Structure formats: C-alpha cells, structure tokens
Amino acid sequence: SNSRAYSLVDSSQVSTFLISILLIVYGSFRSLNMDFENQDKEKDNSSTAGSFNGNSTNNSIQTIDSTQALFLPIGASVSLLVMFFFFDSVQVVFTICTAVLATIAFAFLLLPMCQYLTRPCSPQNKISFGCCGRFTAAELLSFSLSVMLVLIWVLTGHWLLMDALAMGLCVAMIAFVRLPSLKVSCLLLSGLLIYDVFWVFFSAYIFNSNVMVKVATQPADNPLDVLSRKLHLGPNVGRDVPRLSLPGKLVFPSSTGSHFSMLGIGDIVMPGLLLCFVLRYDNYKKQANSDSCGAPGPGNISGRMQKVSYFHCTLIGYFVGLLTATVASRIHRAAQPALLYLVPFTLLPLLTMAYLKGDLRRMWSEPFHSKSSSSRFLEV
C-alpha cells in the first residue's frame, strides 16, 4: 500500500469520525456499566471483608499508575522498532497473537447483543467446561461468532472484517483499562504525544523511512500460506489466501476506491481512556451531589457551566482535534500524528473546565478513592 494514499482524506474521513466517536462512547459506557455491576456484587457480598478501594474489584481490569504511564511510550517505541527491523521474522507470531486478542475483544463487543438474543431462549446459567471455566450461553455464542469472523478474515483479508476486529480491540481496551486520576492521564497522553510526533515527523531523518507509517501499512504473510509452505502441502494448498493488513487501525475506502483513510486504534483508545475517566468522574460527582442533597457549586460559576459535563466537553474536543488533524493532512499531503491534535484539544478544555468548576485538585489525584473509602466505612 502507498503510505501517501492513507493520508489523503475525503468523504471516507466522515466514517472515521463517526466510528471513532461511537467506539469511544460505547466503550466508556461499557466501562461504567461494569462498575455498576461490580458495585452490585460488592453489595451482595457486603457481609464479607473487602477492599476499601472504590475502583473495580474485577481482576481483569487494569489500572495504569504513574510509572506505567511514563514507561508506556518507551515500551511502545521498542515494539515499533522491533516491528520495523524484524517484521519478516516475527510477522507470523505477531499475526497469530493479534488474531487471538481480536477474537476475545470482538467476543466482548458482541456479548450484549448475544445476551439480548439468548435471554428469551435459555436461562443465564453457566455451563462448565472443566479447567477452561464456566460460561453462559451468550458468552459461548459471542465467542463462536467471533472465531467465525476471524477465520473469514484470515481467508479473505477483507478490510471491513479487519475494521470489525479493530473495533472490538478499541472497545475492550477502553472498557478494561482505567486511568485513576487526571495526573496519570496527563502523563500518559503527553508522553504518547511526544512518541507520536517523533516517530511520524523525525524518524525518517534517523532511519531513512517513516517508521510509524511503514509499520502501520505493511501487510503480513497469511498464517495459512506460511503453514502450507512449512508442511509442504503442495502448491495449491493455502497459496491463494491474501496477505493480511493487521487490525491495528481503522481504514475506510474513498468513494472512488482509489485510496483509504486511516486512523490508528491508539488514536482512539488513548483519548478514549481519558473520556472514560471523565465519564466515571461525572457519575461520581452526580452521586456525591445527590448524597449532599444537591449542594450548589462554587459561587463564581454560572449554573449553565455547572450543567456542562466533563464528558461532553472532552468529546467535543476530540471531534475538533480529529477535524484539525484531517485539515492538516489535507494541507500537507503527508501522514500526521493524530495525537498532536487530539491531546491538546481534549486535555486543555478539560483542565480549564475543572479549574473553573473547582474540581481540578480532586480530579488530579485519584478522585474516586476518598469517597469510596468513606462510603464503604459507613456501610460496614
């Protein structure tokens, strides 16, 4: 694929806008719904000793701390260099690992629909599969559909199936990864902004190639083709399958089909984690206000400003940032680091609004911890 073709934008960019925003909103509300479910489980088990931490007790949820936020761009840079220099050696392993992760993520994306479909047909009892665990009928159905879609993608390599798998990865990462505070959010997004700018704008001066664009657009050998060659199954077995463009991005063809617009899933997930954080904070603040019988906010803030949620403010900033990145790519006719535009347009309005509302200090340092501790103490 021509890397320049991915930077040209037309009406296909509208699809990128809509899909990325829908993924962020859906992933954030899935995350909030998981919090509600965990709170219900905590209430059911309130007679047993538990943690005072108000964050989710689900072991599958990963909370990023300050150290991880600082070192994540470094780890991402190392991974990018490994893919750049040793792609031919690790492409099959990387493709298989990506397919496995995409299968699980897409099953998570399909789970609510499968729960809706199976609810009238069967009770939500879990079926035991021995050491593999216990699963409901909806979970088994979503996983089966996900495996089927991944197999079809491996056989056809169609961009639409790749986009579906990338959507599952986005939603799962937004739902299962948490930012505990605004401080960690600023550390993470600022580091990733530097990472994105360096590898898009300056890597060509060092490596004589745009590392980010090359890795993002380089197709991988199909595992079926590699397997047929390794096992010497014959020239007609597994040789007609296409090379695979890995689901690390969303791609949409133009109306003429001459080129694709592209948006990396990191440009969706990382701002999505911030939006998930502010959505949880909006819900936390709403509960706190209801507990305090609707106590008014600071006197220097109008009632209209108090009604504007942090989630809506940050979501509008994300849209404006995407629009700015699109205009920049059209003007310069070159690949643009989307986080260069997304991070300022999401963080700066959020910081400004938090300062005006008087919430900046609480949001900066783990805002959910103190409330949940006192609430849990009062329950006991």
72 burial (CB, 10 Å; 0-12 / 13-18 / 19+) is middle
Q: Which two tokens stand for residue 202?
A: 């300056």
Q: Which of 53, 76, 8, 117 is nearest to 270 (CA)?
A: 76
Q: Which two tokens stand for residue 220?
A: 């991988």
Catalytic residue among 267, 282, 291, 359: 267
Instruction: Read off φ and ψ for residue 119, nearest 5 degrees.
Output: -60, -45
Does 267 participate in catalysis according to the annotation? yes
> How long a stretch of residues is the chain?
380
The answer to whether 6 and 213 are in contact (CB under 8 A) is: yes
Catalytic residue among 35, 163, 196, 225: 196
Q: Which two tokens stand for residue 54?
A: 């108000």
One-letter identity of residue 364: W
Q: Which of 365, 356, 346, 345 is nearest to 306 (CA)?
A: 356
Q: Which of 325, 168, 204, 208 is nearest to 261 (CA)?
A: 325
The catalytic site residues sit at 196, 267
